[in-house]
Chain A
């Protein structure tokens, strides 16, 4: 039977891995290529590279790093950040990415998901949504969590999946950086609304958070995190042993 996936996320700016706590106060971690190789050798099931660069120089540096990582890492690689058009898909896929995640780009250009899915296949298009509670409703945020789009999150995700997104990353801004566990309330709503794989992001602080995630929401396919892995608070091989002990199928 298919295993639950554990996915470290590497935020890359100006060629270095960073991790934002509640999307602010960026702290440097390590070389993205080295870190990717380390994770691949130590039980990660997949990697996400997120380009948070704004400048053209930074973008060129990112594609160089991506190419280098894809040459050295033999597990699936998802790339996100700054994906605005089909040409951006082409740019990162030609560097060796397997899947491309879109967020603000799909909000600004609603045809993007469909166009990309038709060209590269559903399995290649990941919709990533930054979601926060606003007055009792779940809203989608754009621009790295700085802008409330006013879009209702579940409707937005259902629409993107209908247009061909093959996976959904649900990033809860309310639980992100807090390390108090994943946003199970939000994740359950998403799992009940779509039938494509759902990746939980935001809130992992300890091993038990992953156990709770997969036990309480068996429909969730993967858990994504950054700082708890980067700072060595959770080692993926240990995490997988604990998950297995709790009856959760892992690789």
Chain B
């Protein structure tokens, strides 16, 4: 990881298992060290959720704490009779301008699959998707970035986000 130019933190599965594995293998400390050194990193889906302080997925678990905010169930947050997980293509609404969006447009769709979402993360929120209420879609704070959707499964829109991430100079 020390030799890498940039870091991708992917992830599918449960928060508790993932953070436990990162800590057991020493990768958690390594990620934190790299983040503090200013290296660009992008968390994807669960990988984005791990960047926050706390998750309430089956209990309460400490995250990496690189971003302010928590991860909570979508159930109970949205009121409409909508399906959970939030699965499928949903439009991105930009909260702030960001280099990740250099090659895409407001309203472009990305592919989401998740039952939990990031909350209380106003200072890092850069994009959201509407599912009865706004759901955190992308976050950024300096060199630490994340997207809830899967850019690697979001066709050209996703590839263009990854391109912008790859191009940014440290």
Contact = CB atoms under 8 A, between A and B. Distances in A.
Interface string A232-243: 000000000000
B155 interface: yes
A74 B85 contact: no
A123 B85 contact: yes
Contacts of A40: 155
Nearest to A5: B88
Contact of B111 (A1, A75, A121): A75
B89 A123 contact: no
Contacts, number: 61
Contacts of B83: 195-197, 221
B150 to A, nearest CB: 8
Interface in A43-78: 45, 74-76
Contact of A74 (B14, B113, B155): B155
A76 B14 CA distance: 20
A246 interface: no
A208 interface: no
Nearest to A221: B88
B21 to A, nearest CB: 15
Given A1-B131, A124-B12, 20 more contacts: A1-B90, A2-B90, A3-B109, A5-B89, A40-B155, A45-B88, A74-B154, A74-B155, A75-B155, A76-B111, A98-B153, A120-B13, A121-B13, A123-B12, A166-B87, A167-B87, A195-B83, A197-B88, A221-B83, A251-B89
Interface of B: 12-14, 82-91, 109, 111, 113, 130-131, 152-156, 158-159
Interface of A: 1-3, 5, 40, 45, 74-76, 98, 120-124, 166-167, 195-197, 221-222, 251
